[in-house]
Amino acid sequence: MRGSHRRPNSIALFALRAHPSGGRLSYNFPKYDMRPLLLGLPCLLAFKSLSAGPMISRQPPAHETASVAALRSSLLRCFASPGANSSKLLPTLGRFHELDPETQKRLLDEPVLAALRQKVSWLAQGALAQDIGLKEAREAQYSLRLIERELGPLLDEEDRALVETAERQGSAALSRRIDQAVEETNKFLTGTEGEASEAVNDSSRMSYTLVREVRAPRTVAEIAEALQQAHAQNLKVSLSGARHTQGGQIASEHSLHLDMTGFRAMSLDARNNVLAVQSGALWRDIQKFLDAHGKSLDVIQVPNYFTVGGTLGANAHGHNPDSGPVAATVKSLKIMLADGRIVRASREENQELFRLALGGYGLFGVVLEAELLVRDNEIYTPSFHLVDYRDFPRYHQERLAGDPRTRYGHNLLSLSPASFLREIQVIRYRRIADTSKIPPLFEPSLRTALERSISRAVYGLNVLGSWGKRLSWFLLTRVLWPLSQKEQTRNRVMEEPFTHFSTGSDKEAQILQEYFVPRDRLAQFLDKAREVLRSHPLNLVLVSVRAVKKDPDAFLPYAKQDSFGVVFISNHAVSEAEYSRLSSVTRALIEAALSVSGTFYLPYRLVYGMDELRRSYPDIDRFFLLKRAYDPEGRFSNRFYERYGAGAR
């Protein structure tokens, strides 16, 4: 491994340069040059003030921190507006869920609840009204569903019933309006009867799909009833959770769509470390549940706002230094097949179905429940290391995977032009021996609130172009991380809700790509990716490296050997022209991964051809043939299957 050396103390803010040797960098400073910090902090404060928006004229309680008071103001602004403002409501509720339960309860005081009740009343009127446009009515109903999903579990019985009733009535009324509107339009244009439709989209905001109806089942009986209806009316069935795929994997035209986010019960067998959880549960809710029992997840998809079913359907992975995908922690699945039968699938029973469902994108049935292996919660202490990308495979083997005390980590690649995809900031979490005093997951802390606010602002700088990326990398590697040395529990480390890149605008989206390459060929892939991205630049906001062990469980494994996954997140305007440009870059990155015997991940934009799909997943044809064997009527469907399944041979 290349030798460590001391960084110069005086670093020019906008002229950061990698060391000519390309060697590993370490923190060993006696002092900091204050000029970059003095320049950087005003930028941080300006960015934070801009993202917080205007404050309303209300004096917060004296015991509230500035960040909590700002969030209170944001909630009141959202609730005080009679319109449906989901683009502002969604990021505000995301920030709300970062708080500890006590602060959440304190925020939901009578003034906020009164504003919430008024907001629910307005939205219900909007969803039921006949004198507003269909788009406005649909937006009102979406906002109602968002409030019910995000705040419902925290409300008392009366307020929860108010929200749930408004959401159900609004959903029924909106479906009737859409039925009428589509039928009248089709009659006028074609003289024929048409299928009524409701809109479904994913986090790309470019997978707009008209479905026949959206159902939000809460019981197994309601799911069975939906499948019976689909059979009787010869409808396809599509499934969604948090809707964070980005290529239409959650939807099919004119299907009966099941929104599974209300199907979220869970129970724990603490003696055997097994969690039984329904597929619509969010990981953040599972973390809260397990933390109260002194337990933690072994592998979790990050951020923590995905559903269990969505994670299993994509067979996502986590940040452990040397674990397999989440499939490795699944003991068994309960699956409802297209004919309504419920079967148990595991490594011992219905093995083929078990393998197909893990990474099967909802094409083989509705996953009702998963049994997941969990572990005891632990306390970690972080350390921070700047590593050259060529040294990283060896560093990972010796310092991360090779160290039994290292249990979790993040590996962030530089986006600064001077060290683009060459430096890796390693955040390494090592277990400490004393776990006798494990604090709760949400322990109120002014320091935690401030760290999160600053972290959000620093990461958000990456959206602003080259200068923002330079400043962000400097602050991350020389200021923010080195000063964050406190001990944290495993649950707290994995709880980080990564909302840092959301602009809150419905005209922009963060698009993800991920490529898995053999560990000894990481540098080759990054060299090729750098060449692609310099000739076809994207506004990247994050690139990270994650280690994944060979996957023996999924039928379509992306990790055919021990691999590194390289995640790219880029910010884009929501437009066909922008996505056309992105598609050409994605195809070039896919070719770069395939050229080093790697694979690409399937939950994202469907820009590849059947040839690239077969090269990355040689068993894809048999996967589609087995889909037809388990579901001969083609009941379960989505855009991915409709685009590529017909070409199976």
DSSP state, residue 318: -
Query: 74 and 13 share a domain?
Result: no
In angstroms, the CA 190 to CA 454 distance is: 57
- Looking at the domain assignment, is residue 76 inside a domain? yes
Give 165-179 pLDDT, tens digit per residue: 777 776 666 655 555
Query: 70 and 180 share a domain?
Result: yes
Residue pair 596/518 in contact (Cβ under 8 Å)? The answer is yes
Paired strand residues for 297: 374
- Looking at the domain assignment, is residue 90 inside a domain? yes
Output the CA torsion sign for 84, 87, 88, 94. Answer: positive
How wide is the angle at C-alpha 466 spanned by C-alphas 461 and 471, nearest 5°? 50
Please give the pLDDT value at position 598: 97
In angstroms, the CA 173 to CA 145 distance is: 14
Phi, psi (degrees; rounded to nearest 5) at 303: -70, 175
In angstroms, the CA 516 to CA 525 distance is: 10
In angstroms, the CA 363 to CA 380 distance is: 39
Q: Which residues contact 199 (CB under 8 A, 6 or more apart)?
A: 138, 208, 209, 210, 211
Please tell me which residue, 2 or 648, carries the higher pLDDT value.
648
Q: Is the pLDDT of residue 55 over 70?
A: no
Query: 135 and 29 share a domain?
Result: no
Query: 40 and 83 share a domain?
Result: no
Please tell me which residue, 197 or 304, carries the higher pLDDT value.
304
Task: Select from 457, 479, 496 the last residue of a domain.
Answer: 496
Query: 94 and 141 share a domain?
Result: yes
413: confidence class by pLDDT, cuts 50, 70, 90: very high
Token pair, residue 198, equals 């409701």
- Looking at the domain assignment, is residue 393 inside a domain? yes
Q: Is the pLDDT of residue 253 over 80?
A: yes
Token pair, residue 87, equals 């683009």
Query: 13 and 86 share a domain?
Result: no
Task: Select from 166, 196, 226 the last residue of a domain.
Answer: 196
Amino acid identity, position 154: L
Please give the pLDDT value at position 44: 44
Output the CA torsion sign for 277, 283, 287, 288. Answer: negative
Q: How many residues does the chain have?
A: 649
Query: 108 and 175 share a domain?
Result: yes
- Mean pLDDT, to the nearest integer, of 219-225? 96
- Looking at the domain assignment, is residue 315 inside a domain? no
- Mean pLDDT, to the nearest integer, of 339-356? 97
- E-assigned strand segments in 414-472: 423-431
Query: 19 and 110 share a domain?
Result: no
Q: Which residues contact 284 (CB under 8 A, 6 or more apart)?
A: 97, 304, 305, 495, 497
Query: 398 and 421 share a domain?
Result: yes
- Looking at the domain assignment, is residue 80 inside a domain? yes
Q: Which residues contact 437 (CB under 8 A, 6 or more apart)?
A: none
Please give the pLDDT value at position 45: 44
How many domains is the chain partitioned into structurally?
A: 2
Please give the pLDDT value at position 207: 82
Q: Determine what percent of the chain is predicted with pLDDT higher than 90.
A: 47
Please give the pLDDT value at position 603: 93
Query: 98 and 30 share a domain?
Result: no
- Mean pLDDT, to the nearest integer, of 23-47? 40
Query: 8 and 87 share a domain?
Result: no
Give 462-517 pLDDT, tens digit per residue: 888 889 899 989 988 887 766 666 788 898 888 765 554 455 566 788 889 999 99
Please give the pLDDT value at position 450: 64
| C-alpha distance from residue 435 to each of 177, 427, 487, 599 (Å) | 57, 21, 11, 40
Query: 401 and 479 share a domain?
Result: yes
Q: Is the pLDDT of residue 563 over 60?
A: yes
Question: With DSSP H G I counted as helix, E B as strand and the rest as coil, what are the percentages for the chain, rounded to 5?
Answer: 45, 20, 40
- Looking at the domain assignment, is residue 38 inside a domain? yes
Quote the domain boundaries for residue 491.
1-49+381-433+442-496
Residue pair 8/408 in contact (Cβ under 8 Å)? The answer is no
Q: Determine what percent of the chain is predicted with pLDDT higher than 70.
A: 77
Q: Is the pLDDT of residue 35 over 70?
A: no
Task: Select from 196, 219, 240 the last residue of a domain.
Answer: 196
Q: Is the pLDDT of residue 194 over 70?
A: no
Q: Is the pLDDT of residue 12 over 50?
A: no
- Looking at the domain assignment, is residue 173 inside a domain? yes
Please give the pLDDT value at position 56: 32
- Looking at the domain assignment, is residue 589 inside a domain? no
Please give the pLDDT value at position 133: 62
| C-alpha distance from residue 555 to each of 34, 207, 279, 334 (Å) | 54, 26, 20, 18
